[in-house]
Structure 1
Amino acid sequence: MAKNGQPNRLIHEKSPYLLQHAYNPVDWFPWSEEAFTKAEAEAKPIFLSIGYSTCHWCHVMERESFEDQEIAEILNRSFISIKVDREERPDIDHIYMTVCQAMTGQGGWPLTVVMTPEKQPFFSGTYFPKTGQGRMVGLREILLQIADLWNTDRVKVLAAGKNISQTLEDHLSHAESSGDLDEAVLQDAFHTLKENFDPVYGGFGQAPKFPTPQNLCFLLRYWKVYHEDQALKIVVETLTHMFQGGIYDHIGYGFARYSTDEKWLIPHFEKMLYDNALLAIAYLETYQATKNELFKEVTEEILTYIQRDMTAPEGGFYSAEDADSEGVEGKFYLWTPGEIKAILGENDGEAFCRFYDITQKGNFEGENVPNLINQKTLSQTKIFQEQRAKLLEEREKRIHPFKDDKILTSWNGLMVAAFSIAARVLEDEKWAQGAARCADFILKKLRNDNGRLLARFRQGEAAYLGYIDDYAFLTWGLIEMYQASFQPKYLQEALLLSQDLVTHFYDDQKGGFFLYGDDGEQLIARPKEIYDGATPSGNSVTALNFLKLARLTGQHEWEEKALGILRTFSPTVSQYPSGYSYLLMALLFRLSDTQEIVLVSPNGLSSLREMIREINHQFRPFTVVLAADQTLEKDIPFMKGYTPQNGQVTAYVCRNFSCQAPITDINQLQTLLDDSQIQM
């Protein structure tokens, strides 16, 4: 334990979150057999604390309790204490978060669980202050009461833990399929999102407001299929208002995690890689659909932020930036009029303050989060480009928020997808290069000797067998990489990963995919997740991945597996369709007329550029494109039959399992694509 500046066991870990607690006086263990063996030998309960490095309330609980000698003495005397980074161990986090939600009706981080040495939980909650405050009970009282109960009525505690664990296992085990999902769930989801839409400030529901980009991507596809203008309007207004708000960093770019108010004005200042990846995709697709230049510019700024601040020298992407700096939430991002004018000069400073709502009164604890909420002419942001650059240069001199520099395969997969779609839609090679560097790094460095994908890389160490999200999100990224570059290796890697996912994660009895593999640590339950929350679920992404792979390869078994996912979770999804918007994107792909285009060139990829540009010009979410290549013929046997017509670049277009005559004229291709209105 930490005493006189001596570290505890966490000092040997790679996780930034665990290392933040390495000098606590609490005798922390990482999740390990050592901890459970000691708990069993000493007949002590386990105190499990789960969080992540950029979690504001995790920091608060550490300062109040885990750095406190009195709390440490209670924990060290009566408990075995374990710290877990939820981003490294989503399997552990998912199981015990489900317990917390079931027991208390809510969840979040820090997650606090007390359990038996057999890992069976009997108490849970989230943040607790050291001592009681109003109706909130204090951690000190909780620990003393649990320790007393453990010593005086342990049989009752053990029985409670066993009952909760059995209930948990039943809850996490989805029933066998009971029918197909149909159009009704799509329409239910749309109407729920429409009812929850905020017509004044965009987004859904009341404060706090989260971006939920997969809802927006679903609505874009719903608009495309049903020609429902309201769906597109919701997307456009939400993305516009989010950009105007303080949730967007107008000086250094990128989005914060969420807004504490309905206007998107005051963010919770942490920035997460996954939010920015998914939002970049939403802005890109909406730019494709509307040709609104604002959405293109926001996308480019998000990816610029990622390249500048969140990219490792090896090519992978870092996980997050904290909300706090110097122990103060948001301090890095706040401004006063005096600071602005000192940097820009009186006249430019005055104009900037007026445009970005920087006032003497302030909008956050006497200082200001720059925003454009009251601006009607957003195109004028270009006028202040030079001033923003000066402010960014000055801001760089401040003490930066903590950066979680671990590289997670799952979140990197999302960013590979975002960079790849940007390369394809915006025709900018630098985004393709960013995607390739990351994808190549992950494929090279985050695999073990057996070829199994690994979940986390930091300081030269790759660790933890990959979870479903690692496989699903990286496969998504690789499919997008192939669609952007037509380099066969990325499609081949997507197929290999998908086969590995089936081998280790598929439930042959009830369908769907487990969160962790059959070769991973076996916990008290083996859950499957379908809810599309802060990120889409691995099952949802896998369903759409497999449908696309089926169209790209002609291998029908991928479609069967995707349909199995839809059937397995149909009872759950039917209860609240809007909670599964990414899965509904897979359903839309399944039910819509899809297009498969094979491009053949006698002169290599460069000669395909004009046809590729024509295909990418519009928003075509139900289209997949192949470039004929001999190295793919093993995986895609039907490709052998496609040859250039009359020595010219040729497009073979198939729609709804029916193929058209080969096309060599770009105008013919344009006409055919424009006539291909997607119908249900």
Structure 2
Amino acid sequence: MTQGNRLGEAISPYLQQHRDNPVHWREWSAEAMAEARREDKPILLSVGYAACHWCHVMAHESFENAGVAAIMNRDFVNIKVDREERPDIDHLYMTALQAMGEQGGWPMTMFLTPEGEPFYGGTYYPPEAAQGRPGFAQLLEAVRNAWDTKREGLLRSAGEMRTHLRGFLSASGAPADLPEGALEEAAGRIGGMIDLELGGIKGAPKFPNAPYLELLARSGFPGGPEAHRAGFLVTLRGLCEGGIFDHVGGGLHRYATDARWLVPHFEKMLYDQAQLLRHLTIGWRATGEPLFRQRAFETVAFLRRELQMPGGGLAASLDADSAAAHGPASGAPMEEGAFYVWTEGEIDAALAGLPEIETFKRCYNVTPRGNWEGKTILERLGGSGEAAPEAFGEARIRLFQARAARPRPGRDEKILADWNGLAIRALAEVGAAFHHPDALLLAREVFHFVTTQMMREGRLHHAARDGRLSGPALSGDYGAMIAAGAALFAATLDPQFLHTAHALAEALERWHGDGEGGHFMTASDADDMLLRPRSDPDEAVPGSTALVVEGLALLAQVGGRQAIRTRAERAAALAQGRIGAGGMAYPGLLAGFDRLQRGSELALFGFRSNPGYGAVEAMVRGHVDLNRVDLVLNDPDRLPETLALSALRPERYPAVTLCRNQTCHPPVFEPEALRSLLEGGTAAS
């Protein structure tokens, strides 16, 4: 029997957290499957991630327990997976878990045959039986007994599940057009779920639900239902003012446990920051509200300060838990949110001598009793109106300095290509909209890291840490990075970004194409999966198929190559053939369809010194159309020859033209003509 815990050399910080468990953990591999076959044992698969609170709880209760570990080591081959490092494995077995009638979540606990076929599963299990759930050791004994005495039935059930998964996750389908009004119908249903007083989906807990929010904005701007615009904006304000946003250090927590955005689950994920930045840009362009600009700048600063790694890439997350702020740096108990919450006494001490201390406490709801478990989560939901969002600069600096002395939350330092791609695109859009040079510089640095340090022989990899790479990229990595390159080109007109995006598009087809115009999540040479899944549904971020469609569609807009647009249309049509009428589960794909159907390209020609330039630029920025790509330039020769806009030579500046379906309107020069062009372009859609 092979002994020992083998996670010591893992790239994933989550797996490294389990390197000292008495459990004989293995990383996911063909070798681990072979060990299970050789020893005739079922596989216990445990999936989680570094910032997952309940993953830590189960680890402490069960995986650090010598008695539980002894059962696991005797009866199972134990495999630990970081869902962020291997989202394909997580997607496959989470789909199986839900098909078994269980509610998904993490940690995910699955039992597999030595061939990797799932036959039983769940999520968190307590150490002792509680609330109708078996204790973990009790469960282990029951599964092993069933394996020994009822194996034929388990294998039959596992085989049926494999067939179901192949049909659900890997099957092809005939291409189909998006049903008439599908986006409007889905947006209407989302709009009906929005809490128009507090924002977000009605009730608790409240997640940002970024793909839903994106679809609401697409429907509402520029001239859609006012209720959809209102739902988008009230949600965005809730995210900006609630305790879900870190008012001292910037950045968005993962979700709120209540209905008011007050009490967050304190982990911070890179993908949330990326999607928030894009939505803040939309909100500011639509309203000009200083709140959205301020939160965008604070989030950019957070990314630079807290998540950027040496070399340029962005780390995946910050943990929810840290050592208790009042305890010693070592040996203190780990508490959720300890780094972020305050007592009134701590606030008073940090802000002593500031004349605005009482106003600060009123605006941020600081009271002797606190607003959460006797402590205060800083928030502006009630008193934000009496001070501008950028107010209290000195107070927040003092609190930041006081907080810096506390034990910090752990950081998951692996760099993920898809999440970094989402962040690059968002930073490029922030840089262009706000004329924010550091956002653009950060976008360039991150893009350079991913496309140099995470590429080998022209092939992208999914994760990197400490100079090491994990396995090959997934299709979503390519989609997100294609969009990142396209967005950076739109923001800078630097041709290197366009060139790299096209190279990534070719690599996507080589490694992930299914031969019909669609894409599998895993690469063609993947040899450690039960099957090659697609990834059509969205989770907290758009699924891989949506990222591919959006990336290719955006690249076609900025590069003008019809072949790329044809690929995007084919991938979208095949996806529609697979998903049928279930658009609500696929808002990312609906957004990609929307871009393909209503996309347009606008060029603003001129110099800032030109009379009237500022008014023209402000009108362009204020007319929000999520399907329009804006290119700001003074030299038409900087555009690719394949782009229809490149043929235009305005006789004077400033000038604006709008192209749709490779047909361009003549340039306009005056604000009224520009307003008519923008509104006409919308109406024509």
TM-score between both structures, scaled by the size of structure 1: 0.92
Whole-angstrom distance in 2 between the partners of 1:215 and 1:287: 19
Cα distance change, pair 488–664 in 1 and its aligned pair in 2 (3 A): farther
1:257–1:275 Cα contact (<8 Å) kept: yes
Letter in 2 for 1:596: E
Q: Which residue number corresponds to residue 132 of structure 2?
A: 135
Alignment counterpart, residue 426 of structure 2, candidates 418, 425, 432: 418
Letter in 2 for 1:533: E
- SS of 2:199 mapped into structure 1: coil
Q: Which residue number corresponds to residue 48 of structure 1?
A: 45
Cα distance change, pair 288–569 in 1 and its aligned pair in 2 (3 A): same
Q: Which residue number corresponds to residue 441 of structure 2?
A: 433
Which residues of structure 2 form unaligned runs of 5+? 324-333
Cα distance change, pair 609–479 in 1 and its aligned pair in 2 (3 A): farther
Structure 1 residue 591: Cα displacement: 2.9
1:341–1:350 Cα contact (<8 Å) kept: no
Please state if 1:75 is matched with 2:72: yes
Letter in 1 for 2:535: E
1:185–1:574 Cα contact (<8 Å) kept: no
Cα distance change, pair 39–650 in 1 and its aligned pair in 2 (3 A): same
Cα distance change, pair 392–82 in 1 and its aligned pair in 2 (3 A): same
Whole-angstrom distance in 1 between the partners of 2:624 and 2:387: 23
After superposition, residues 440-451 of structure 1 pair within 5 angstroms as 440-449=448-457, 451=458
Letter in 2 for 1:537: G
Letter in 1 for 2:592: A
111-120 or 521-530, which moves further after superposition?
521-530
Please state if 1:547 is matched with 2:553: yes
- SS of 2:131 mapped into structure 1: coil
Whole-angstrom distance in 2 between the partners of 1:459 and 1:536: 28
Alignment counterpart, residue 251 of structure 2, candidates 249, 254, 271: 254
After superposition, give the CA deviation of every residue in 1:486-542 in whole Å (9 maximum; x if it has no partner). Answer: 101111111111121122212234x53211111223511211122222001121122
2:28–2:81 Cα contact (<8 Å) kept: yes
Structure 1 residue 121: Cα displacement: 1.2
Q: Which residue number corresponds to residue 502 of structure 1?
A: 509
Structure 1 residue 213: Cα displacement: 2.0
Which residues of structure 1 form unaligned runs of 5+? none
1:2–1:23 Cα contact (<8 Å) kept: no
420-429 or 29-38, which moves further after superposition?
29-38
Please state if 1:569 is matched with 2:572: no
Q: Which residue number corresponds to residue 534 of structure 2?
A: 528
After superposition, give the CA deviation of every residue in 1:326-363 in whole Å (9 maximum; x if it has no partner). Answer: 21111111111111111112764443222211222222
Cα distance change, pair 496–50 in 1 and its aligned pair in 2 (3 A): same
Letter in 2 for 1:10: L
53-62 or 646-655, which moves further after superposition?
646-655
Cα distance change, pair 500–17 in 1 and its aligned pair in 2 (3 A): same
Whole-angstrom distance in 2 between the partners of 1:608 and 1:496: 39
Structure 1 residue 649: Cα displacement: 7.8
Q: Which residue number corresponds to residue 479 of structure 2?
A: 472
Cα distance change, pair 360–99 in 1 and its aligned pair in 2 (3 A): same
336-345 or 536-545, which moves further after superposition?
536-545
93-102 or 182-191, which moves further after superposition?
182-191
200-209 or 331-340, which moves further after superposition?
200-209
- SS of 2:470 mapped into structure 1: strand
Q: Which residue number corresponds to residue 521 of structure 2?
A: 515
Structure 1 residue 640: Cα displacement: 11
Alignment counterpart, residue 167 of structure 1, candidates 164, 171, 181: 164
Whole-angstrom distance in 2 between the partners of 1:38 and 1:608: 72
Cα distance change, pair 637–78 in 1 and its aligned pair in 2 (3 A): same
Alignment counterpart, residue 395 of structure 1, candidates 381, 399, 403: 403
Alignment counterpart, residue 622 of structure 1, candidates 618, 627, 647: 627
Cα distance change, pair 199–672 in 1 and its aligned pair in 2 (3 A): closer
Letter in 1 for 2:436: D
Please state if 1:290 is matched with 2:287: yes
Q: Which residue number corresponds to residue 330 of structure 2?
A: none
Letter in 1 for 2:596: R
TM-score between both structures, scaled by the size of structure 2: 0.91
After superposition, residues 257-656 of structure 1 pair within 5 angstroms as 257-326=254-323, 327-345=334-352, 348-375=356-383, 377=385, 379-449=387-457, 451-509=458-516, 511-570=517-576, 573-592=579-598, 594-597=599-602, 615-625=620-630, 636-637=641-642, 642=647, 644=649, 653-656=658-661
1:552–1:625 Cα contact (<8 Å) kept: no
After superposition, give the CA deviation of every residue in 1:203-223 in whole Å (9 maximum; x if it has no partner). Answer: 113211100122222222212
Structure 1 residue 13: Cα displacement: 1.1
Whole-angstrom distance in 2 between the partners of 1:675 and 1:134: 60
Letter in 2 for 1:266: V
Cα distance change, pair 176–412 in 1 and its aligned pair in 2 (3 A): same
Over the matched positions of the two proteins, sequence identity in percent amounts to: 33
For the aligned residue pairs, the C-alpha RMSD in angstroms reads 2.8
Whole-angstrom distance in 1 between the partners of 2:14 and 2:613: 46
After superposition, give the CA deviation of every residue in 1:342-387 in whole Å (9 maximum; x if it has no partner). Answer: 1112764443222211222222222111112222506444332211
- SS of 2:110 mapped into structure 1: strand
Count the aligned residue pairs: 671
